[in-house]
Chain A
Amino acid sequence: MGVARYWREIPSRYNLIGSKCNVCNEIFFPPIKICPNCRRKSIGKIEDYKLKGVGTVESFTIIRNAPPEFERNVPYVIALIKMEEGCYITGEIVDCEYDEIHIGMKVDACFRRIQQDGSAGAIYYGYKFRKAD
């Protein structure tokens, strides 16, 4: 199944723009409109926050059985990454050998092609992660 095209327009996808609640100071990604800690008090007090893109692998898996759009990438690594700001992000790990990847590994974000509609369709870009030096 193709992916809705409006997703191409989401700025957070390209710039890692999350949200900061100015009541409790927690940082969120993907962006939120209401803080789950402060709820009503947070309305109007949430602002955009650009993540530094630096984090640590909390868990990872190597996907070997993929949906049609990703079949040609198999096998690929998807990780749960704890960002320096405290929020977690799901993302692919690229540019390293699989046996190097471990829980606790430092990573940083990079801008990559994620998938495309068929062989000649729209290309979708976004963030992936690579091993940080």
Chain B
Amino acid sequence: MREVAVIGVGMTEFGELWEKSFRELVGEAGIKAIEDAGIEGERIDALYLGGMSAGRFIGQEHIASIAVEVAGLHGLHIPSTRVEAACASGGVAMHQAYIAVASGIYDIVVVGGAEKMTDVVGGEATDILASAADREWEAFLGLTFPGLYALMARYHMHKYGTTQEQLAMVAVKNHYNGSLNPKAQFRNRITVEDVLNSQIVADPLHLLDCSPISDGSAAVVLAPLDFAKKHCEKLVKISASVQANDAISLHRRKVFDGIPAAQHAAKKAYKMAGIEAKDIDVAEVHDCFTIAEIMAIEDLGFFEKGKGGKAVENGLTELEGEIPINTSGGLKAKGHPVGATGVAQIIEIVQQLRGEAGQRQVKEAKIGLTHNIGGSGGTAVVHILEVV
């Protein structure tokens, strides 16, 4: 198996981008990534595009073909594949591309992720996102996506004493980080009171406990590490890429205080990279809801199960803290165009490791991790990246 490096990154701004079409977003991110990589189009062997539900958000399926067209590569007939795993679509696309390069089948592979979510109105987005849950046995009965995480939040609060304020502090921190990120959807700072005074979506989760509906696209270029060594100045390699799945429905999993697939993926990823949780300098985790970040930092082994809320309260996950989490602003503030999220997380970590994260730069970040979740935990993808 070959070692794999990230040689280029590019993303659009995240937010309500009504002036840009889906294909424009995919093109913009892709062009930035290949420019950053300094790669000619004809060197690209394959494309993978993460996308959750273009069919329902914009009425367009077959988006892999759109990606190859906007990249101007259709005449070369390279393979382009859409990958769907709900909100983990981007992470799974990364994993597939990693496998393709590591195996030696392809050399240069572009991974994209895109979603255009703001073109539907009212409860339509709620219903589309509910399709990441079990339609027959969860959504049919009226359970929404925030509702699923609300069930986990109440359980976590009951079992460990995690408080509403601690949940709110996740959002406050992520908005602060987002205020330092020019690509973020929300760059305003908020307070705990703002979160607690915002409308309740699904008790105990308030509106400001939830990531937004976003448009956006992200892309990265992967290459064999040996190629990257000759080609790049700042080398970032992928030292682990692990996907783990579980039952789609929460009730089938019987675990409500964490995500077993994420715990499994993290354990395998640390083994693959030959490191431990304490070696991670910076992480982007899937904070689709504030409780999700608290469960993530526990599932990843940064903090003991049940201690995540306290860790947030004590500032351990802030930019200057013990382990900075979601320096980009996370899904909460950077935005969450579902198909793009897993790829955008990789971009933030690559920028941190290259020392290009500007005001939100974590000092001497050498090893970073991304954690991307699909549904309420039916899919989990963990990547570990390292400065070479």
Contact = CB atoms under 8 A, between A and B. Distances in A.
B201 interface: yes
Contact of A90 (B56, B152, B205, B251): B251
Given A59-B256, A78-B147, A90-B250, A64 B199 contact: yes
A88 B141 CA distance: 14
A123 interface: no
B235 interface: no
B124 interface: yes
Interface residues of A, number: 35
Q: Is the interface of A mostly helix, strand, loop or mixed?
A: strand
A80 B140 contact: no
Interface stretch (B8-16, B131-139, B311-319): B131-139
Given A62-B202, A64-B201, A114-B140, A78 B123 contact: no
B141 A59 contact: no
Interface in B231-258: 249-252, 254, 256
A78 B152 contact: no
B203 interface: yes
Nearest to B136: A7
Interface string A58-71: 11111111111111
B139 A67 contact: yes
B144 interface: yes
A76 interface: yes
A66 B126 contact: yes
Contacts of A80: 151, 155, 250-251, 256
Contact of B150 (A61, A67, A68): A61
Interface in B114-153: 122-124, 126-127, 130, 135-144, 146-147, 150-152
Given A59-B152, A114-B140, A68 B127 contact: yes
A91 B158 CA distance: 20
Contact of B200 (A64, A76, A103): A64
A114 B256 CA distance: 25
Contacts of B204: 61
Interface residues of B, number: 38
B254 A88 contact: yes
Contact of B154 (A3, A7, A103): A103
Contacts of B147: 61, 63, 78
Contacts of A115: 140, 142
A94 to B, nearest CB: 11
B143 A59 contact: no
B256 A63 contact: no
Contacts of A1: 56, 127
B222 to A, nearest CB: 34
A63 B146 CA distance: 9
Interface string A1-39: 101000100100000000000000000001000000000
Contact of A3 (B126, B140, B199, B251): B140
A3 B201 CA distance: 23
18 contacts: A10-B136, A62-B202, A63-B144, A65-B123, A65-B126, A67-B126, A67-B127, A70-B142, A78-B151, A80-B151, A80-B251, A87-B251, A88-B251, A90-B138, A90-B141, A103-B155, A103-B158, A114-B140
Interface of A: 1, 3, 7, 10, 30, 58-71, 73, 76, 78-80, 87-92, 103, 114-115, 124, 126
Interface of B: 56, 122-124, 126-127, 130, 135-144, 146-147, 150-152, 154-155, 158, 199-205, 249-252, 254, 256
Given A59-B151, A66-B142, A69-B142, 5 more contacts: A65-B144, A66-B144, A67-B139, A67-B144, A70-B142
